[in-house]
Structure 1
Amino acid sequence: MTTWWPYARLAAAVLGAAAIITQLMRTLQNGAISPTEWGAHVPTLAANFLSFFTIESNLLAVIVLSIGAIWAWTSGRKEEREPGWFAVLLTCVSTYMIVTGIVYNLLLRNVELPQGVTVPWSNEVLHVVIPLFLLADVLFAPKRRALPWSAVAITAIFPVVWAGYTLLRANVIIAPATGDAWWYPYPFLDPHLVPGGYLGVAGYIVGIAAAIVGVAALVVWIGRRRARS
């Protein structure tokens, strides 16, 4: 497994990058034919696209998996364990992608979207295939390093920053597709849709935060257990 796992990581990174680029192109194409004056504003479309937690997590996964493959083919050949900095990065992206898969399949899979908004194969890659690969990476990737439990807290930094950014930015962006004076990347973060408004949104955020901490703790525990064995 030590010899071929880096190739699997690189293949997953290439597939993830292709899915992101394909979906971005579809988003920009849809904007170009939008009937609203806001729908064709490319900077807003691109910024909104990059504001999805799914896209950001997949981008991070593409980068980290690529780094892992390159490390394995260079200095990693002589190392018994992955470096600590890489183990932390891998724990973070594994956590984010596993949670992305869980949240999408529990909360978003049955949310109806206008025809043609998403590319079906790209959508499945970003929400199912890459999360499953990162789960497999946690369970089977060679040279796993044990991390201290403090790594769990590190994984929470990015989601907290993302949630704050999302809620602050939402009310200064006009939704390209509808012209609403707000834009939220996910319906469960939109106080105009969630029962209870911001209180209901806070409930979702707390639930997802708990999921992130729980998954991160599990990833760290598995890494510690595999490193000992």
Structure 2
Amino acid sequence: MTTWWPFARLAAALLGIAAIVAQLSLTLQIALEATTPWGGHLPTVAVNFFSFFTILSNVSAAIALIIAAAWALGQRDPARPEPRWLSLLLVCVSTYMIVTGVVYNLLLRGIELPQGVTVPWSNEVLHVVFPLFLLLDVLVAPRRRALPWSTVLVVAVFPVVWVAYTLIRANLVIAPATGAPWWYPYPFLDPHLQGGYGGVLVYVIGIAVAIILIATVVVWIGRRRGTARSEVHATSDSAGVSSR
């Protein structure tokens, strides 16, 4: 698996990128054909597209897998675990992608999101296929390094920043599809649909708990799978340094 898993990561990353490009192309096409100033405002439409947690998660996951594949192909020692920074990056994107899959399939499947019409195959890749690959990567990818439990707190930083960004920006944007003086990427973040910010807070807390739980499981799996290899390699490295 050490020899071919980098190629599986590259293939998954390219599929994810293709799905993102396909959906972005359709979204921009809809904007170009819009008959209202707000519907055809391409900068807003483009920023909205990249404000979805799904899109940000998929983009970051594709980049992380490409980096991981490049590192593995350039590192000939099959016993050497991934560097700490790379393992941390993979834990983060794996958690975000698994959360994306869970939230979409539990809360959003069947609900039309405010980016316009979706590309069916792209939608499934971004919300099902790619998240499942990241889950598989957590379970079977070679060279995983064990990370400390404090990693869970690091994983939580980006979702917190994203929620703050979303809620602050929402009332500064005109929704391209409806002309409403606000734009939220997901219905559960829209206080106009949730009876106020109290309803939004319930969803935010629920998803925050899910993120922490999933991050904890991902870190735990990494510790179970990576501890022995990391310790053996660290010992050999220490022995090599002391013998010089």
Deviations 1:121-150 (A, max 9, x none): 000000001100000000000011100000
- TM value normalised by structure 1: 0.96
Q: Mean Cα displacement is larger for which, 30-39 or 179-188? A: 30-39
Identify the residue that residue 91 of structure 1 maps to in structure 2: 91
- TM value normalised by structure 2: 0.90
Tell me how far 1:212 sits from its aligned partner.
0.4
**SS of alignment partner, residue 121 of structure 2:** helix
- Tell me, in whole angstroms, the C-alpha distance in 1 between the residues paired with 2:51 and 2:83: 30
Aligned length: 228
Deviations 1:95-140 (A, max 9, x none): 00000000000000021469x7100000000000110000000000
1:225 paired with 2:224, answer yes
- Tell me, in whole angstroms, the C-alpha distance in 2 between the residues paired with 1:154 and 1:101: 21
- Tell me, in whole angstroms, the C-alpha distance in 2 between the residues paired with 1:205 and 1:113: 18
**SS of alignment partner, residue 156 of structure 1:** helix
- Tell me, in whole angstroms, the C-alpha distance in 2 between the residues paired with 1:113 and 1:50: 14
1:109-120 alignment to 2 at 5 Å? 109-112=109-112, 117-120=117-120
Identify the residue that residue 161 of structure 1 maps to in structure 2: 161
Q: 1:205 to 1:217 in 2, by over 3 A?
A: same
- Computed over aligned residues only, the root mean square deviation of the Cα atoms, in angstroms, reads 1.5
Structure 2 gaps, min length 5: 229-244
Amino acid aligned to 1:126: L
- Tell me, in whole angstroms, the C-alpha distance in 1 between the residues paired with 2:23 and 2:16: 11
- Tell me, in whole angstroms, the C-alpha distance in 2 between the residues paired with 1:228 and 1:60: 26
Amino acid aligned to 1:203: V
Identify the residue that residue 199 of structure 1 maps to in structure 2: 198
Identify the residue that residue 179 of structure 1 maps to in structure 2: 179
Identify the residue that residue 30 of structure 1 maps to in structure 2: 30
Tell me how far 1:176 sits from its aligned partner.
0.7
- Tell me, in whole angstroms, the C-alpha distance in 2 between the residues paired with 1:109 and 1:79: 42
Identify the residue that residue 42 of structure 2 maps to in structure 1: 42
Q: 1:141 to 1:106 in 2, by over 3 A?
A: same
1:8-157 alignment to 2 at 5 Å? 8-75=8-75, 77=77, 80-112=80-112, 117-157=117-157
Identity %: 67
